[in-house]
Amino acid sequence: MTNIKSNKSALVVLILGLSTIVFPLYLTIVIAFKQPSEMTNSIDGILSLPKVWSLDNFREAMEITNFWHSLGNSLLITLLTVGLSILLHSLMGYALGRNKAHSKFYSFVYLFIVSGMFVPFAILMMPLAKQTAEMGLANWFGVVLLYMVFYMPMNVLLYSGYLVNIPMALEEAAKVDGASTWRTYWKIIFPIMRPMHATVAVLTALAVWNDVMTPLVIMAGSDQNTLPLAQLNFQSQFGTNYNLAFASYLLSLIPILIFYIICQKQILNGVVNGAVK
């Protein structure tokens, strides 16, 4: 009886959790295909299906946002950030994770880097905007550099935690065979951390892909719009064109959703193992 009750409770919680995802997604899809004339202030007008399923909203949204140009900028920034994060942050996590237990210096550096998670972006926003402009980094390259710093604390924390699950015997055996520390890392440790690479890639990609503030502050006034920045065109002081905005949201959702589906098999294993300290 206890197992039956627990299963029912779990099912109820699962249904409630699923509804929080399905309902907003349903609204997004329905509104994206509707015409403005079909939108009313009543609940039925919002929840009802479109009278005609047309792609006109999507075509107009792509024209307003200069979709392919904005998509290219978003892909460039996201892919560079993810690739550099996996290469550099995993290397930092390895160096700190293997040495912080028996070195006060490495322990201090580790705590210093991880403490960066508690610094809000609002405090750094204006100084960073001024510094990047003076240094000629008010472009996509400057945004990538800032992302590398912003997501370093969390990624180093995850990689360091994941190293606990990798036995030192592998590295000791490699050293006996004459392998250097550098070769041991790239040939043995780096491939073993594949689940954590996938986890870091997805978490970083989601954060970068959906970020508005950093590109808005750093690249303000340039034509290097990312998709989230381009979607601000649907908002004005007089209101928001929800039909076109939601169509644009769906278009921007597709690439990151495909990326998540590809990496999802590795994510759970990476998060669980990375949580072990």
How high is the pLDDT of residue 85? 95
Q: Count Cβ atoms below 10 Å from residue 276 Cβ, excluding itself.
A: 10
Helix (H/G/I), strand (E/B), else coil: 223: coil
How high is the pLDDT of residue 87? 94
Q: What share of the chain is helix, strand, coil (3-state, %, to 5)?
A: 80, 0, 20
User: Two tokens at 158?
Assistant: 């995850």
* Per-residue pLDDT of the chain in tens (277 residues, 90 and over written 9): 555 656 777 778 888 877 888 888 888 888 888 887 777 665 566 777 888 888 888 998 888 888 898 999 999 999 999 999 999 999 999 999 888 888 899 999 999 999 988 888 888 888 888 888 888 888 889 999 999 999 999 999 999 988 888 888 888 888 888 888 888 889 889 998 988 898 899 889 999 998 988 998 888 766 778 888 888 877 764 466 788 888 888 888 888 888 878 777 666 555 555 444 4
Give the CATH fold of the 58-276 domain: MetI-like fold (1.10.3720)
How high is the pLDDT of residue 276? 47
Query: Please, what is the Cα angle at 24 between 23 and 25, to 5 degrees?
Result: 90
Task: Please report the sign of the dihedral spanned by the C-alpha atoms of residue 126, residue 131, residue 132, residue 134.
Answer: positive
Helix (H/G/I), strand (E/B), else coil: 236: strand
How high is the pLDDT of residue 204? 93
**How far apart, in Å, are the Cα atoms of 252 and each of 68, 216, 229, 277?**
11, 17, 11, 36
Q: What is the rounded distance in angstroms from the CA atom of residue 17 to the CA atom of residue 273?
A: 24
How high is the pLDDT of residue 91? 93
How high is the pLDDT of residue 90? 94
Q: What is the rounded distance in angstroms from the CA atom of residue 210 to the CA atom of residue 255?
A: 12
Q: What is the rounded distance in angstroms from the CA atom of residue 182 to the CA atom of residue 99?
A: 15
Give the CA dihedral 139, 141, 145, 146, nearest 10 degrees.
Answer: 20
Buried-exposed string 19-40: b where 16+ CB fall within 10 A, e elsewhere: eeeeeeeeebbbbbbbeeebee
Size of the chain, expressed as the number of residues it contains: 277
Where are the chain's structural domains?
2-53, 58-276
